[in-house]
Amino acid sequence: MPPAPPAPIAAPIPAPQFADDRALPRGQTRRVLVIEDEPQFAHILYDLAHELGYRCLIAHGAADGFSLATQFLPDAILLDMRLPDSPGLGVLQRLKDDPHTRHIPVHVVSAQDSAEAAMHMGAIGYALKPTSRDQLNAVFRKFEDKLTQKVKAVLLVEDDALQRESVVKLIADDDVVITAVESGEEALALLQSRVFDCMITDLKLPDMQGSELLKRMANEEIVSFPPVIVYTGRNLTRDEEAELLRYSRSIIIKGARSPERLLDEVTLFLHKVEADLSSERQTMLKTARGRDRVFEGRRILLVDDDVRNIFALTSALEQRGATVEIGRNGREALDKLDQVADIDLVLMDVMMPEMDGLEATRRLRQDPRFAKLPVIAVTAKAMKDDQEQCLAAGANDYLAKPVDLDRLFSLLRVWMPKMERL
């Protein structure tokens, strides 16, 4: 029997441009990880963390930020969106996909406004640069609230007694208090006086539709708008789905495998440590993540002039359950958008003949039909000016060649509509 190959040696994590606290023993002091590519602003956050009694770790890129998070398991993370090697949303997705880091509260501080996507993925807050000292202090207060909170409060809005009982049994825990009500008016009354860490609601309620409840929550005086999980037996149209996702963090259609998915979402928004859950619940969470339902039934437009790229990416995407439409240049991409309904996302190569990806993206953004269509630009190299050109043209995100499939799938999970029919 041949000897086992030696284990690969992990690449060393690059040192920041100034000394941080990674070499200090952990002790009882809380640690915050700052993932920020501007050394000057990173130092401002580092100094503020020290003033407020935190030890601080610094990473200037996405890869070293994720490596530091998994190695040191900080108590909280401050994350920039525009990093030199990979988008910040990709880092956030990886953190929330990893059972060892998904409970860590992440607050974004960035010049790029991707607040809606980040909050859907479990960020606790989003601050746009330039930020004031008061705003940064408020970020750390939010961390402190999360880290000192002993009991999490969940509001369950469900008129069916059996469904209500099954959800309570699924998510109840020593540190979770569930308040269950049957109607939208009861929910609104509670939200006017109490703060909830998460809310689960059905769409069919005796006094109003769940969509009306969410709109009233947005427009009426309530103490705090919690992360909302829509848990419903109704099949939704794309328009209904898009409308609900303006107010809710995720939509789960009730079915045979939906309890695992609901448990997964609740533990994410409550920032529960997965290792502290029962073995039965940990098994349920593994089952939920073993499927990639987000790709099933989705239609992706792949725009590339390289036959090898088209073949490789089409194969990878179709294996995940997606349907792939092809455009070989920007002009074909625009034609395809006119011809094919229900395209969920565009993967747009930048360098192409006839019409490049930047021009095609600019043109599709001029069409009101495609104002919110997710576009991921695929660039030849991850240079910062290339990234800025892609975002300026209207792309939501970017990916460097050669395409890393894990990063591609991570970005697709970020930008595809977050609804799963289980």
Alpha-carbon gap, residue 247 to 231, rounded angstroms: 14
* Residue 266 confidence (pLDDT): 92
* Residue 246 confidence (pLDDT): 84
Alpha-carbon gap, residue 81 to 74, rounded angstroms: 19
Q: Is 253 exposed, middle or buried (0-12, 13-18, 19+ CB in 10 A)?
A: middle
Q: Which residues contact 385 (CB under 8 A, 6 or more apart)?
A: none
User: Do 79 and 88 meet the contact criterion of CB atoms below 8 Å apart?
Assistant: yes
Task: Find, among 290, 296, 276, 252, the residue nearest to 102 by Cα.
Answer: 276
How is residue 70 written in tokens?
Answer: 């998994």
CA angle, residues 138, 139, 142, in degrees to nearest 5:
85
Which residues are 398's β-sheet partners? 377
Task: Find, among 84, 31, 76, the residue nearest to 60 by Cα.
Answer: 84
* Residue 209 confidence (pLDDT): 92
CA angle, residues 391, 348, 383, in degrees to nearest 5:
50
| Three-state SS sequence of the chain | CCCCCCCCCCCCCCCCCCCCCCCCCCCCCCEEEEECCCHHHHHHHHHHHHHCCCEEEEECCHHHHHHHHHHHCCCEEEECCCCCCCCHHHHHHHHHHCCCCCCCCEEEEECCCCHHHHHHCCCCEEEECCCCHHHHHHHHHHHHHHHHCCCEEEEEECCCHHHHHHHHHHHCECCEEEEEECCHHHHHHHHCCCCCCEEEECCECCCCEHHHHHHHHHHCCCCCCCCEEEEECCCCCHHHHHHHCCCCCEEEECCCCHHHHHHHHHHHHCCCCHHHCCHHHHHHHHHHHHCCHHHCCCEEEEECCCHHHHHHHHHHHHHCCCEEEEECCHHHHHHHHHHCCCCCEEEEECCCCCCCHHHHHHHHHCCHHHCCCCEEEEECCCCHHHHHHHHHHCCCEEEECCCCHHHHHHHHHHHCCCEEEC
> CA quadruple 271, 272, 273, 274: dihedral positive or negative?
negative
Starting at the edge strand found earlier in the chain, the sheet holding 345-349 runs 323-327, 299-303, 345-349, 375-379, 397-400
* Residue 309 confidence (pLDDT): 86
* Residue 330 confidence (pLDDT): 93
Alpha-carbon gap, residue 76 to 97, rounded angstroms: 16
Alpha-carbon gap, residue 285 to 264, rounded angstroms: 6
> How far is residue 94 from each of residues 54, 82, 216, measured CA to CA in Å?
24, 16, 34
Q: Which residues contact 369 (CB under 8 A, 6 or more apart)?
A: 337
* Residue 406 confidence (pLDDT): 78
* Residue 375 confidence (pLDDT): 94
Which residues are 181's β-sheet partners? 157
* Residue 420 confidence (pLDDT): 44
DSSP-derived pairing of the beta strands 152-157 and 176-181: parallel
Question: pLDDT truncated to tens, each residue of the chain (422 aa)?
Answer: 444 444 444 556 777 888 999 999 888 899 999 999 999 999 999 999 999 999 999 999 999 999 999 999 999 999 999 898 888 988 998 898 888 999 999 999 999 888 888 888 889 999 999 999 999 999 999 999 999 999 999 999 999 999 999 999 999 999 999 999 999 999 999 999 999 999 999 999 999 999 999 999 999 999 989 999 999 888 777 778 878 888 888 888 777 568 888 998 899 899 998 888 899 998 888 777 655 567 877 899 999 998 888 988 998 888 888 899 999 999 999 999 999 988 999 999 998 888 999 999 999 999 999 988 999 999 876 555 677 888 889 998 888 888 888 778 878 877 875 544 43
How is residue 388 written in tokens?
Answer: 């800025």
Enter the pTM of the model. 0.72
DSSP-derived pairing of the beta strands 198-201 and 176-181: unpaired
How is residue 348 written in tokens?
Answer: 């747009």
* Residue 390 confidence (pLDDT): 87
